[in-house]
Structure 1
Amino acid sequence: MRSVGLLLCLAALHSTALAACQTGLAERLHAKLNLQRALLHELSVCEPWRVHLGRSIVVLPLPGRAPDTLDLEVLVVQQPDNGNSERATVLAQARQTVPSGGADDLVVTDIELDGARYRLSTDLRSFGLRITRRSTAMQQPASSETLSLFALAPHNHLELLLDELAIRKERGQWTAGCAGRFEKHESQVAVSRSSVSKGLADLRVSRSDWQSVNELQGEDCVESSERPRYSESLLRFDGSQYRSAD
């Protein structure tokens, strides 16, 4: 019954522990930058950047200028020594436009800072941003998660190096009783220790794919799963962003 539990989880837009700012920092920065659009408070992110003492990563989500999109204002913020967030200074800023809604009905429900450290070169500090989307369609549940990588380049220039790599995708279709088909894809990203392109380490992506089917056998709902399939790929920096080497 694992797929049934997964189905119910995906179909419900339940309240989660979102990475929202609790100190008012996001609201103050939104006002200071005069962004002219409403701040989507429930998706805001304020997290310490642990590789830089006194600095934080702040994400201000705004309704996108294009239909079915969000504009994310991604900020590197210097916090004062006394911890007074009212005196926080924006060191670097980048904008990322991401889809939300549209034809696939996948809506952004969570944005969070990735906990991994991506050491792409000896002198470049980077961080990851994860975006989760979910569908509300009861009979066609779906969810996805993507990873983007940003780096703080010299002169406090914030660069988007990896734009929404899909690292998880779940999708299914079922009838009200039991019958259904489900598929799941997961990817793990690791920094290569042996290969470099244009001055930055390559990224190795390990992907797993599963499929399962639910069928009613007598009075029991029985799940059968195919053996997972595994594949690997390489992303190389082309001087602007990471792209597939295939």
Structure 2
Amino acid sequence: MTLKYRWLGCVAMSGALGATQAYGACAQPPLPEGVPGYSVCKDWPAYDGQSITALSQIEPDPTLSDAPDGTGMYDLKLAVVSNIDGKPLARYAQASVYSSDAVRFDGLSIDTARYKLTSDLRAFGVRAGFTGSSRANPFEQAVLSLYVREGNTLRPVLEQLVIESSNGEWDTNCTGEFSHTKRTLDLAKTSSHGFADLIVRSVTTDTQNSVGKEDCQSKEVIGNTVSTTLRYDGRQYVVPKELQGL
């Protein structure tokens, strides 16, 4: 069972400001040559003339000189950028956000769904993907973090909620068992500390493969939807341990 992520990419932007001012193209932040990492850019539909950029690159670690390429800790740099002149309007940077080893960090994407947390405050999301290295025990996971703009800075209000995951164990030919969980995030009518509560709905599909008379056969069982409410504690949304990422 495989998750299909669309991590990399850049959304081209066009339009006009007033009668003559044209918006520039959404530009991915450059990565240093030869440095493992990911860089993305996306228009923010909620705010005309603004885009969001995300860059994550590996942090140098001399103790990992013999490790496979891409193994280590990755930082995260975010910015809300003006599409008129390309200047950053707000920034965020944090070291050692993502770990990449046996479970490999394999990309970023920007989520601009309508996360309206208060009457005048919208968040945007950053999704990170991870893939396991074992073929016999496949593993994939995507985590979601939300950020809000406060003046010229960005602040995380939700960190590394597992939004999708897949794992299993099989004989690499046919026989085996797999599990896939997908989650959606909705705004509740209730609020905590002035921020809308978040409703996480989880659905898990279990699949069992077995050798039939002529080919490999699969049987799926879709579980009931499980709802969990996340509440803002004045600083961040509290995520239960079982919903937290790696």
TM range (shorter): 0.7 to 0.9
Q: Corresponding residue for 1:128?
A: 125
- SS across alignment from 1:237: coil
What RMSD, in angstroms, separates the aligned Cα atoms of the two structures?
A: 2.9
Instruction: Give the alignment partner of residue 167 of structure 1, picking from 163, 166, 169.
Output: 163
Deviation, structure 1 residue 224: 2.2
Q: Corresponding residue for 1:83?
A: none
Q: Separation in 1 of the partners of 2:26 and 2:125?
A: 23
- State whether structure 2 residue 174 is matched by structure 1 residue 178: yes
Q: Separation in 2 of the partners of 1:20 and 1:79?
A: 13
Q: Deviations over 1:33-59 (max 9, x none)?
A: xxxx97656x21111111112211011
Unmatched 5+ stretches in structure 2: 13-24, 62-70, 242-246
Instruction: Give the alignment partner of residue 236 of structure 2, picking from 237, 241, 244.
Output: 241
Deviation, structure 1 residue 165: 0.5
Q: Deviations over 1:194-229 (max 9, x none)?
A: 211111100001111121211123343222233413
Count of equivalent residues: 219
1:212 to 1:200, Cα distance in 2 relative to 1, 3 A = same
Q: How does 1:69-218 map to 2 (within 5 A)?
A: 69-80=73-84, 87-96=85-94, 97-102=96-101, 105-153=102-150, 155-192=151-188, 194-218=189-213
The structure richer in helix per residue is 1
Q: Separation in 1 of the partners of 2:86 and 2:34?
A: 21
Q: Separation in 2 of the partners of 1:118 and 1:15?
A: 21
Percent of aligned pairs sharing the same letter: 27
Q: TM-score, normalised by structure 1?
A: 0.77
Q: Deviations over 1:86-106 (max 9, x none)?
A: x4212211124433323xx32
Q: Corresponding residue for 1:3?
A: none
- SS across alignment from 2:115: coil
The structure richer in strand per residue is 2
1:120 to 1:235, Cα distance in 2 relative to 1, 3 A = same
Unmatched 5+ stretches in structure 1: 1-5, 32-36, 81-86
1:206 to 1:24, Cα distance in 2 relative to 1, 3 A = closer
